Structure 1
């Protein structure tokens, strides 16, 4: 645990706005520090509490991340690390900023004990797809009602910089969702509900006997921009036959529905890794809208196709039945 008044160099150094910080954390500022203003008991992140920027409470830091298993559910995680001497109770949290039309809101509370950490899960809000000019802001609602003489709620607003989001999770999710939104203005993309399994006689990339065929449909949106789908990348479960991606060349210029068939072999055959895979059925799309290349976004296979995919892997890889 770090002494009062010190902050580890690896911790986030961005400015914060704080109202009514818990008395146990404020004590680390020393007797000469002015006491923070008391927060209203009903204060919450959604109320946009006005506050003066102050340093991050000693020993407390935050970091944004995302678990692969929660990618499809649009959930991000905020880890609150606590090297102070008191509990840090996060009653609620949200992420806001100019590139989000609605805030990401927490799905529950969490408590970081001294010397430990806690994870707060947040459901992403709807993106606002213009070029962002400001960083996102994480707002934490701290519950210090158990500390005598302290306010029951404290609101902490924290600018999210590269040190607080080292994997650039928020930017990548925003870019992916805006790319999908831009494509959807000019074309509806969909997979056929099932994949086809075909037998082959030659050995292809170490796998003999079966390939999977998936069909991608592009249906133009009347009056929308020109959409072209150049390629689909391989995934952790599926490898394109003959290269690292499927070259498609689908275009909404056709004026009606068009389709392309993707032929695949297993990308891996270890049953344990396949069983635990979380993104193998999320197909990475490379497209342009009115000639402007979009960030890669993901088009998931439908449920029936995902089930058939696992059956295909078992067949192609020669796993024992059952």
Structure 2
């Protein structure tokens, strides 16, 4: 899996045990047979007090490039015990998010094995930079005589050890930077992908538009970084120099050339169409955030790259 390490924040919960300790802990948490199976949130707030991760179970937040645009992160559950650990659901919650992020599918980490729970993040709540996120796992027991049901709830603070790549912090920073810019300006790319002839071959000409938001803060777009697919025709960055000061829509053209001509790498690319934007709001520099190219531009990219790299399309 192509995992993107981002940001500087770090985190992990590491504990070590034998499988029998896990079995005993799960057995002691089994609810009455007539009780319904509550969600992670309801168990955390109204059910029995959640337990720390049992010895031998550790977690780590990871990120796959292909899932970044869909706001999906993965929680890797390592089970160093003698018994399978069936995670029916997972939830990441904290002051930095408007609502809890919930898992998409149940997973089972076999004895001595690992499993990854996919969790889709919700909307960021900005202004909570120091807040820690908490992971809640609802675990089921494997039973031969009945369907699995929740038997234990475990929580773990996602500190630097549990998020060594700073995935959650970086995503929150990007979201809040984009929201701060959006309060003062609407940024968009013109549809399509214009191809023009340059001195050394075809150029992909992108047009970035800034439309000021009436009454919003002052926004300046200082730079757009290169991606894995596109590089500036001149210099290390594009410098659009767009600002909302005049109160009128403004545009800038960005001429691009291929960042690489390895066709296999181009075909496998996951984020080359997401353009990294560097902006400031009322003079305060924001974190880099990503402004994706329109769908028709994405569709046209392979043809342009093939042409510019001197190969026929297809």
Question: Which residue of the other structure, out of 99, 103, 122, is the alignment partner of 1:125?
Answer: 122
Question: Which residue of the other structure, out of 227, 237, 245, is the alignment partner of 1:235?
Answer: 227
2: distance between equivalents of 1:28 and 1:53? Answer: 11
Assess if the C-alpha contact under 8 Å between 2:207 and 2:253 holds in 1: yes
Corresponding residue pairs, total: 295
- In the TM superposition, 1:128-207 aligns within 5 A as 128-144=125-141, 146=143, 152-200=150-198, 202-203=199-200
Partner SS, residue 178 of structure 2: helix
2: distance between equivalents of 1:77 and 1:141? Answer: 16
Q: Which moved more, 1:126-135 or 1:69-78?
A: 126-135
Segments of structure 1 that go 5 or more residues without pairing to the other structure are: 1-9, 15-21, 30-34, 204-208
Partner SS, residue 138 of structure 1: strand
The answer for the alignment partner of 1:66 in structure 2 is 63
TM-score, length of structure 2 as denominator length: 0.87
Residues 1:120 and 1:55: Cα distance change in structure 2 (over 3 Å)? closer
Question: Which residue of the other structure, out of 105, 112, 115, is the alignment partner of 1:108?
Answer: 105
Question: Which residue of the other structure, out of 236, 241, 245, is the alignment partner of 1:249?
Answer: 241
Question: Which residue of the other structure, out of 204, 220, 226, is the alignment partner of 1:212?
Answer: 204
Question: Which residue of the other structure, out of 285, 288, 303, is the alignment partner of 1:311?
Answer: 303
Question: Which residue of the other structure, out of 31, 46, 54, is the alignment partner of 2:41?
Answer: 46
Assess if the C-alpha contact under 8 Å between 1:103 and 1:126 holds in 2: no
The answer for the alignment partner of 1:90 in structure 2 is 87
2: distance between equivalents of 1:291 and 1:55? Answer: 44
1: distance between equivalents of 2:69 and 2:53? Answer: 32
Q: Which moved more, 1:52-61 or 1:119-128?
A: 52-61
Segments of structure 2 that go 5 or more residues without pairing to the other structure are: 1-10
1: distance between equivalents of 2:81 and 2:285? Answer: 47
Deviation at 1:131, TM superposition (A): 2.8
Deviation at 1:133, TM superposition (A): 3.1
Deviations 1:144-167 (A, max 9, x none): 152889974311111101111110
2: distance between equivalents of 1:154 and 1:147? Answer: 18
Assess if the C-alpha contact under 8 Å between 2:91 and 2:136 holds in 1: yes
Assess if the C-alpha contact under 8 Å between 2:273 and 2:292 holds in 1: yes
Residues 1:85 and 1:232: Cα distance change in structure 2 (over 3 Å)? same
Assess if the C-alpha contact under 8 Å between 1:176 and 1:297 holds in 2: yes
The answer for the alignment partner of 1:17 in structure 2 is none
1: distance between equivalents of 2:58 and 2:219? Answer: 43
Residues 1:69 and 1:11: Cα distance change in structure 2 (over 3 Å)? closer
1: distance between equivalents of 2:180 and 2:12? Answer: 37
The answer for the alignment partner of 1:300 in structure 2 is 292
Assess if the C-alpha contact under 8 Å between 1:266 and 1:313 holds in 2: yes
Q: CA RMSD in A?
A: 2.4
Residues 1:102 and 1:55: Cα distance change in structure 2 (over 3 Å)? closer
Assess if the C-alpha contact under 8 Å between 1:39 and 1:151 holds in 2: no
1:276 equivalent in alignment to 2:277: no
Higher-Rg structure is 1
Residues 1:183 and 1:148: Cα distance change in structure 2 (over 3 Å)? same
Assess if the C-alpha contact under 8 Å between 2:67 and 2:73 holds in 1: yes
Partner SS, residue 146 of structure 1: coil
Deviations 1:149-205 (A, max 9, x none): 9974311111101111110000000000111011111100000001211112x33xx
